[in-house]
Amino acid sequence: MFKIFIEGDDVHVRVLGILGAHQRHGITAQLLAATLAALPADVQRETIFLADYQITPDTGQANPVLDKLEQQLQASDIWIMATPTYWGSISGLMKNFLDCMRPRMVRMTKKADTLPGQFKNKHYLSLTTCFISSLENFFVGITDDTFRVIDRALTGAGLIKISELVGTGTWGQHQPTTKQLARCRVLGYKIAQRQVKDDATLKRYLQLLGMVATMSLVTMGLQQLIFKLFTGPTFWLAYISFVVIFYVLLASLLHYFTFLRHRRR
């Protein structure tokens, strides 16, 4: 959870819900609406229903639709990307939106490298729904690619991820469950923080390294004191190798559960 606040009462956070679903009032739309409704009264909010727009790529001609969407994206501090999971990924509406907005979200170098563009350091939250049960999605991960596509596009554009929400078992469902609405309220509270930036990943890994190194030194120091396990240079060689191996394994595990394995229930 990010906690960098903007001082002053004259600053208002703007949250933009982007709905890439075919139904304006379907389950995905209702979860998005519930998340927006959970925001404090002083947070400005707006929803874009992508089906209302004829979104086409930039071709060198005037494109007032993309111009309008770009202005709404720029005016918002936080985006909520809401899309059902179709065929294991985002909806066609959301995919078309991301594809057409790509030249305005990133910039390309002469070597075709993609760099963050004008939306760098904004924040986003991913929201999806699917027909399969929570238990099945937990083991199969049918919604993982939905989150990966959104993450790939928005992190490439320099945005910072807040969290993600998945609503499972929506087949035959006409309104969200109490549990799903409770998660929306939690997320609404979470994204209501007034922040400007929180990209402290490197700092957190360095802090983790410091903690691993300190605890390893204390543990091995006690082993040396009590059991006389190490002598001379052997102690420091064992200490350094243990810290490196333990840190790499722990950091890899944390990275997997934090960034690679997405919310499934």
Mind listing the pLDDT tens digit of every residue in the chain (265 residues)? 343 333 344 457 899 999 999 999 999 999 999 999 999 888 999 999 999 999 999 888 999 999 999 999 999 999 999 999 999 999 999 999 999 999 999 998 888 888 999 999 999 999 999 999 999 999 999 999 999 999 999 999 999 999 999 999 999 999 999 999 999 999 888 776 645 445 566 777 787 888 888 888 888 887 777 767 666 677 888 888 888 888 888 878 776 766 656 666 6
Contact 17, 30 (CB under 8 A): no
pTM for the model stands at 0.74
70 and 103 in a single domain? The answer is: yes
213 and 171 in a common domain: no
Q: Do 160 and 60 have their domain in common? A: yes
Per the structure, the complete domain to which residue 242 belongs is given by: 201-260
Considering the domain architecture, whether residues 169 and 75 belong to the same structural domain is answered as yes
- Calculate the alpha carbon distances from 169 to 27, 36, 265 in Å: 11, 22, 10
- Considering the domain architecture, whether residues 144 and 64 belong to the same structural domain is answered as yes
> Based on the structure, what is the number of domains in the chain?
2
Assess whether 170 and 132 both reside in one domain.
yes
In a domain, 7, yes or no: no
Residue 3 included in any domain: no
**Distance from C-alpha of 141 to C-alpha of 144, rounded to nearest angstrom:** 5
Domain for residue 183, yes or no? yes
User: Taking the alpha carbons of 55, 92, 191, 261 in that order, is the dihedral positive or negative?
Assistant: negative
Residues 256 and 132 in one domain: no
Residue 185, number of CB atoms within 10 A of its CB: 14
- With tokens 């960034």, the residue in question is 259
Q: What are phi and psi of 243, to 5 degrees?
A: -60, -45
Using the structure block, give the residue that is written with the tokens 């075709």.
112
Number of residues that this document lists for the chain: 265
Same domain, 77 and 205: no
Give which of 156, 240, 243, 160 is closest to 200, Cα–Cα.
160
CATH number at residue 41: 3.40.50.360
Q: Counting beta carbons within 10 angstroms of the beta carbon of residue 116, is it exposed (0 to 12), middle (13 to 18) or buried (19 or more)?
A: middle
234, 104: one domain: no
Residues 247 and 133 occupy one common structural domain: no
Q: Which residue blocks in the chain are alpha helix, DSSP H?
A: 27-37, 64-75, 92-105, 134-140, 144-156, 178-190, 201-227, 233-255
